[in-house]
């Protein structure tokens, strides 16, 4: 018999440590670099729109609603780096793939909620600023919410999209690490599917506009949409864990 036996408690404790490290890294890159840039850019566009009295039919349209684009594609890119680069790094520090996967799951959850909070605050601030001019933001693409006051739905929309894209990014990163650049790129046809599926089911923003206006897609009730999106994201994370759990670290 040996004392060197892994236990669920140890796995979760070290998984939490891993999640903390990954989240701190995301907070550093996202919080200190990405989000300030997003805020500055969108405030600038908003200021320009106010200064010029709006652009034609789009006068007083919401600027911040478009923040949904960078706020899901940046986490997607970061998750690709995590999937391809951080796994070998952490395994070399003695982490198991299972602990790493728990850590990634924690990072996805925390970052998604954090980005959702930032998204909700942005919509609220925009609503207040527009209010100073006696206007309300007009939303030009579909959303789960009708106005910024629907805070739970605002949070749900941002969090579901960000988490789905991060889970997809992790999967993409893992396949790039395992199969290399050419095959990894070819596999994007498959590995991007979780994000596309959530976009389709959620049917918001540009994607939702195309789905609804172009293909006549009717979004199912939220009681179906939200669990379905969560299920797709969770299945993607679990599938990626199954994929990496016996992955060899390259020389």
Using CB under 8 A, list all residues that contact other proteins: 1-7, 10-11, 14, 17-18, 20-21, 25, 81, 84-86, 88-99, 245-246, 248-251
CB of 157 to other proteins, least distance (A): 30
Nearer to other proteins by Cβ, of 56 and 94: the residue is 94
CB of 85 to other proteins, least distance (A): 3
Distance CA 117, CA 12 (A): 26
Nearer to other proteins by Cβ, of 218 and 246: the residue is 246
Nearest alpha-carbon partner for 23 in 105, 119, 122: 105
Nearer to other proteins by Cβ, of 38 and 86: the residue is 86
CB of 10 to other proteins, least distance (A): 6
Residues 6+ apart with CB under 8 A from 132: none
Distance CA 189, CA 242 (A): 20
DSSP three-state, residue 205: helix
Structure-token match 């840039």, residue found: 37
Nearer to other proteins by Cβ, of 146 and 250: the residue is 250
Distance CA 64, CA 147 (A): 12
CB of 168 to other proteins, least distance (A): 19
Nearer to other proteins by Cβ, of 5 and 51: the residue is 5
CB of 14 to other proteins, least distance (A): 6
DSSP three-state, residue 32: helix
Alpha carbon of 213 to those of 69, 138, 206, 218, 238: distances in Å?
19, 18, 10, 10, 33
């Amino acid at each position: 018999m040996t004392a060197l036996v892994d236990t669920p408690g140890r796995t979760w404790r070290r998984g939490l440590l891993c999640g903390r490290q990954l989240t701190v890294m995301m907070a550093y890159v996202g919080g200190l670099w990405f989000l300030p840039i997003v805020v500055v850019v969108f405030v600038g566009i908003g200021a320009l729109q106010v200064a010029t009295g709006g652009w034609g039919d789009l006068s007083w349209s919401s600027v911040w609603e478009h923040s949904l684009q960078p706020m899901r594609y940046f986490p997607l890119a970061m998750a690709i780096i995590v999937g391809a680069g951080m796994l070998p790094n952490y395994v070399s520090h003695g982490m198991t793939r299972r602990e790493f996967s728990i850590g990634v799951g924690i990072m996805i959850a925390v970052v998604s909620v954090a980005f959702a909070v930032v998204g909700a605050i942005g919509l609220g601030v925009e609503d207040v600023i527009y209010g100073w001019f006696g206007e309300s933001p007009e939303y030009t693409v579909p959303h789960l919410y009708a106005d910024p006051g629907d805070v739970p739905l605002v949070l749900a929309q941002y969090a579901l999209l960000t988490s789905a894209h991060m889970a997809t990014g992790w999967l993409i990163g893992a396949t790039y690490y395992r199969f290399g650049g050419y095959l990894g790129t070819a596999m994007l046809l498959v590995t991007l599917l979780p994000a596309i599926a959530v976009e389709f089911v959620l049917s918001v923003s540009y994607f939702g506009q195309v789905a609804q206006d172009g293909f006549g897609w009717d979004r199912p009730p939220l009681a179906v949409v939200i669990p379905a999106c969560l299920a797709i994201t969770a299945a993607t994370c679990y599938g990626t864990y199954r994929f990496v759990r016996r992955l060899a670290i390259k020389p």
